[in-house]
Copies of this chain bind each other. A is one copy, B any other.
Amino acid sequence: MRKPSYAPKPVPCLRCPLRRRSIFRAFEPSELNFVEWFKTSELIAPKGGNVLLEGAASQHLFTVLEGWGFRHKTLPDGRRQILNYVLPGDFLGLQGPIFKEMQHSVEALTQLRLCVFPRDRLWTLYEKHPALAHDLVWLAMRGEQQADEHLLSVGRRSAAERIAYLFLHLYDRCQALDMLDHGRFKVPFAQMHVADTIGLSLVHTHRAMRQMQARGLFTWSREEIEIHDRAALEELSNYAPAPDEKRPII
């Protein structure tokens, strides 16, 4: 696996293409200035690379600029649970400063481009920018909220229900980030990842997905998912999309 490397030309936060998207809340000039100072560099993680490792004491915080990844935990015998997917705007690595070590790993599914923040400047954030402190709380709470939702899925839903929920969840996140292409979205992962996300075996996951596709609920071909019958998927999983509000990005 290739090593992460520094990006040659970091984007200035003032002209950040991601931040411009309408789901993100607008920043005050003073906040933008702070973030510009907070961000010390950019990092490129190659596809398949480990951005963060469980047990490591990470010195850095990251915001995802581009690409897909996933957070996961692994048992000593190799069983893996994917906790969530990582998309642009997501904030990574806070567990490092807060507990001594990361409690999960993050792996890149595509090449990832990340803003890098040193943990020792975090204190300045709390002291000078209460609104950003609130944003941090927001991000942490959203992480917990999504974990709770996932827990309900894995603990109490059937195979088809879990798949329906997962695909709607991903669809809505992609939509919010303007990553949809005529109702389709690229999924840079394999069936194995879906299985490890919903807590079932690869074979069973495959069969459940085949059946759902036969019922016309969606298609998954050439790394793309297209939702055909959203209403049916929503009813199957009892998932109601949250009204999308402005969210913070750091």
A interface residues (Cβ-Cβ under 8 A, vs B): 71, 73, 75-76, 79-81, 83, 94-95, 98-99, 103-104, 123, 126-127, 130-131, 133-134, 136-138, 140-145, 147-152, 154-157, 196, 198-199, 238, 242
Contacts and interface: CB of A to CB of B under 8 A. Distances in A.
B145 A95 contact: yes
Given A130-B133, A136-B137, A137-B133, A152 B238 contact: no
Contacts of A81: 151-152, 155-156
Contacts of A140: 137, 140-141, 143-144
A99 B130 contact: no
A98 B71 CA distance: 23
Given A104-B148, A147-B148, A238-B75, A156 B126 contact: no
A73 B198 CA distance: 17
17 contacts: A73-B149, A73-B152, A80-B156, A94-B141, A103-B148, A126-B131, A126-B134, A133-B136, A137-B137, A140-B140, A140-B144, A143-B144, A144-B144, A147-B148, A154-B154, A154-B199, A155-B198
A155 B95 contact: no
B126 A133 contact: yes
Given A141-B98, A145-B95, A148-B83, A76 B155 contact: no
Contact of A137 (B73, B79, B94, B238): B94
A199 B162 CA distance: 13
Nearest to A124: B130
A136 B144 CA distance: 13
Contacts of A137: 94, 98, 133, 136-137, 140
Contacts of A71: 148
A81 to B, nearest CB: 4
A103 to B, nearest CB: 5
Given A130-B123, A238-B76, A99 B145 contact: yes
A151 B150 contact: yes
Contacts of A136: 133, 137
Contacts of A144: 140, 143-144, 147
Contacts of A154: 151, 154-155, 199
Contact of A141 (B95, B127, B238): B95
